[in-house]
Chain A
Amino acid sequence: MTESKLSAAVATPDHVPASLVYDFDYYHDPALCADPHMRVMDLLKSAPPIFWTPRNNGHWVLAGHSANFEAARDVEAFSSEIFPRDQMAELLAQLEETMGRIPLAVPINLDPPMHTKYRQPLQKVFSPKTINALSGSIRALAVELIDEIVDKGQCEFMTAMAEPLPVQVFLKMLGLPLERLAEYRELVSEHLSSVDSSNAILTMQKVVAAMRDTIIERRDNPQDDILSMLWKVEIDGAPVSLEDMENYAILLFIAGLDTVMQGMGHGFRHLALNPDLQDELRAEPEKIKQASEEMLRRYTFTVPPRRVSRDMEFQGVSMKKDERALLYLPAADLDAREFAEPDSFNMSRERAHIAFNAGPHRCLGSHLARVELQIVYEEFLARMPKFKLDPKRPPTFHGGHVLGVDTLHLVWEV
């Protein structure tokens, strides 16, 4: 990664004191792209807990745990509607004139009370009960993927396991045809490479187009899947419309695939680097649940964006209406003020982490994510001999709203 990739720095607004300015390009910071959580540890030591960076048009970064925790729960001060509602409506209307209908990932991008109306119906669909019922089929899919690679002595983990598993679970759970796996994997990779670019809308439209016939089919012939369940919910007392269904489909596509994938990427890199931990978990698989939880804390990887909704003082910092703020959750969960020796991997921690955020937007898919991650750790460790990083091909990473693993080459003896 070279300097030239950094976004241009803009002038710092007058109300931001020099002591709060810290230069950090959350997409292209070279150290972040070289080893994300190493850089996050460094950020906590060298930057203030709330700082302003001049990169990417200038914005706040909430790095400390208490700043993140408070901001996540104060949805009036920190809005999830990244553009003010009237601006957004105008923008959408303009775009839709040329592009056709644009699906929206509600309710992740809405504030209460609208947020609550769209989130409430999803709650039952993702409750621990519904998800636990899926664990048998998730395990079968995981075992199938592991069987394919176990004799090979090596794999690129992201394409062999981390990406196909969540995509298959997604298809299965929603009731989408498994024969179209290849098509969906293609869409996922298109989505991953177009995130945060102007092609993102086009990709979303393609995803919706790919699902539309199944969505309609489930309205007319309900089955035992989430699309059928969602057709039965009511939003604010009214039946769901096809547009609502498309929005939900997009939401789950965006929120549920890349995330689980990266959770696995960071976790398996840690395991590959720590053979003793592999041994310990193979000998005592009942510890995997705690290990999986500590992985989420140690390698928290999502960075939700917010808009400051009014001029205000926040934890002693003066912020202005419509400034952007990132909830830098990876830093919150490595904050030494909250977690003693934050960079050590300690399975007996009891303090809750906020890898799934806190407050009204807290991840709805956390039960599903936990089940998927735990099953993959269990089955992989049970079926695979000791694995390590391929010394010839070290892992590669990216920054942005999801601190992610691009490639993770593993090797083992066969």
Chain B
Amino acid sequence: MKIRIDKSACVGNARCANISEELFPLDDDGYIKVTEVDVPPGMEQLAKRGARACPERVIHIIEE
């Protein structure tokens, strides 16, 4: 599973990192740092929860 993040639309409210700091690392200003993440096996549920938690809905799950 992969996550794609529409970084330009992130407004920096860290709801994703609140679910998992490992999957959704933030920069010093609190914006998401990455645009694409390969979800390690076993973390698929966390990835989905992170995507649902984003108020801006900019985190997209790409099922493989």
Contact = CB atoms under 8 A, between A and B. Distances in A.
Contacts of A123: 12, 29-31
A362 B11 contact: yes
Interface residues of B, number: 18
B14 interface: yes
A352 B29 contact: no
Contacts of A127: 12, 28-30
A326 to B, nearest CB: 19
A126 B13 CA distance: 10
A362 B49 CA distance: 21
Interface in B26-57: 26, 28-31, 49, 52-57
Contact of A350 (B28, B53, B56): B53
For chain A, what secondary structure do more than half of its interface residues adopt (helix, strand, loop), or is it mixed?
loop
A351 B55 CA distance: 8
B53 A366 contact: no
For chain B, what secondary structure do more than half of its interface residues adopt (helix, strand, loop), or is it mixed?
loop
B11 A124 contact: no
Contacts of B12: 123, 127
Given A128-B17, A367-B14, A362 B55 contact: yes
Contacts of A129: 28, 30
Given A352-B53, A362-B11, 12 more contacts: A123-B30, A350-B52, A352-B54, A352-B55, A352-B57, A354-B55, A356-B55, A359-B56, A362-B13, A362-B55, A363-B13, A366-B13
Interface of A: 73, 123-124, 126-129, 350-354, 356, 358-360, 362-363, 366-367
18 contacts: A123-B30, A123-B31, A124-B30, A126-B30, A127-B12, A127-B30, A128-B14, A129-B28, A129-B30, A350-B49, A351-B52, A352-B15, A358-B55, A359-B11, A362-B13, A362-B55, A362-B56, A363-B13
